[in-house]
Structure 1
Amino acid sequence: MKLISLIIVSVVVFSFFVYGMKSQAQQERIMNGLSNLEKSNLKTAILAGGCFWCLESDLDRLDGIEATISGYSGGSFDNPTYKDYYKAPSGETPHVEAVQVWYDPKKIGFDSIVHYYFRNIDPFDGQGQFYDRGPGYRPVIYYSNDAEKVIAEAQRAEIEEKHGKKTAVSIEPATTFWPAEEYHQDFYQKSPEHYKRYRKGSGRDAYIEKLWDGKE
């Protein structure tokens, strides 16, 4: 009996070891990809709008966006993961799910990206997005300079005027963006059936269509 228990423990330990190696290799591939992007002439934007699977899928449709990365941002502690990004240690600020966009400024501007973003989220819900609830899903536009802040604030004001009420979208200075685990990247392409069921069940598309009906 002790031998069987020892074998089981050994298998579990080995499995965690292999998983750790695999996860590390996956993260290294992501970081290598980021390194290549940083050598390009592309610009970046960081946007949070609920589930990063959905926001990444939506942003990938825009011409001029060359890459999107799901991840975590806005918090004050390092190396967040899917299991703890919203659980800030004592004295720290939690992160939110976000998408980092790499775009070609010759093809699309920050203003067009923000315009599209507002029309693909629920800008009036600051407690989450659709059926993803909690502060880890709150909508945020992160700006890198004063010009981007002005653009974001102007478009938020425009949305509020169109709908006659205040939005819940926060506009905050950009902080470190932490790429999510590899299995989250391009999830809508890797697991299309799972993603379609999730998205339909969330009510995201139906709500957005109703929200903007006749408003443009």
Structure 2
Amino acid sequence: EVDPSYREVAGGGTNHTEVVQVVYDSTEVSYDRLLRVYWHNVDPFDGTGQFCDRGSQYRPAIFAHNNRQYQRAQESKETVAAQFDQDIAVQVQSLDAFYAAEKYHQNYYKKNPRDYKRYRTGCGRDARLREIWGENAMTDASLSR
């Protein structure tokens, strides 16, 4: 389906993945740094969703805009994989299309800070990230342990 609504994607019937598109200035922050932040904010072992959000629409994935991003993302995945005895479920793919969610769902964490904090705590997100990443959870620290 072309340009599905947020509700359609969240419902799981479109075969799309809910993602964020990061627009950045490469003179201010590197793609590698963004990758480090990404890894330290996901459970890389859970390919069926993240935390309370279950289903293929919530699978962890990195969608690359070009070959260089794809290569760097794949290399970062290999670096992460070398640190663990479990398979890494994060998929690295080329971006075919991006459909922005409706305005009401964008920047949810800013618009609904209490609900988002409750989600993070109630779903065990922060605790699980600390279990996986230790003091590097939710940071841009090096991927090497």
**TM-score category of the 2 structures, normalised to the smaller one:** 0.7 to 0.9
Within 5 Å, which residues of 2 pair with 1:51-90? 77-85=1-9, 86-88=12-14
The answer to whether the aligner puts 1:148 opposite 2:72 as a matched pair is no
Q: How far has the Cα of 1:213 moved from its partner?
A: 2.1
Matched position secondary structure for 1:83: helix
Which whole-Å deviations, capped at 9, do the CAs of 1:165-197 have from their partners, x for residues lacking one? 220000111021111111111212212111211
Secondary structure of 1:101 counterpart: coil
Which of structures 1 and 2 has the bigger CA Rg?
Answer: 1
Which of 71, 82, 90 aligns to 1:161? It is: 82
Counterparts of 1:82 and 1:201 in 2: how far apart (Å)?
Answer: 23
Separation (CA, whole Å) in 2 of partners of 1:116 and 1:164: 21
CA deviation string 1:79-129 (max 9, x = no partner): 2112212313xxxxx111100111011011111111110110001100001
Counterparts of 1:82-161 in structure 2 under 5 Å?
82-85=6-9, 86-88=12-14, 94-161=15-82
C-alpha separation in 2, matches of 1:79 and 1:157: 32
How far the C-alpha of 1:147 sits from its partner, in A, is 1.2
Structure of greater relative contact order (alpha carbons < 8 Å, 6+ residues apart): 2
Give how far 1:210 is off: 1.3
**Cα distance, 1:138 vs structure 2:** 0.1
**1:118-145 CA distances to partner (integer Å, 9 max, x unpaired)?**
1100011000011211001001111122
Superposition pairs of residues 171-182 of structure 1, within 5 angstroms: 171-182=92-103
Runs of 5+ consecutive residues of structure 2 not aligned to the other structure: 136-143
Q: Secondary structure at the match of 1:99?
A: coil
Greater helix proportion: 1
Compute the displacement of 1:211 (Å): 0.7
Cα separation, 1, equivalents of 2:87 and 2:78? 8
Paired residue for 2:138?
Answer: none
Alpha-carbon separation, structure 2, partners of 1:128 and 1:154: 22
**Which SS does the other structure have where 1:100 is aligned?**
coil
Percent of paired sites with the same residue: 38
2:65, 2:109 → 1: CA distance?
Answer: 28
Q: What RMSD over aligned residues (CA atoms) do the two structures have, in Å? A: 1.4
**Ranges in structure 1 where 5+ consecutive residues have no aligned partner:** 1-76, 89-93
Q: TM-score, normalised by structure 1?
A: 0.59
Dislocated runs of 4+, deviation >3 Å: none
Whole-angstrom distance in 1 between the partners of 2:97 and 2:76? 24
User: Structure 2 counterpart of 1:80, which letter?
Assistant: P
Structure holding more strand per residue: 1
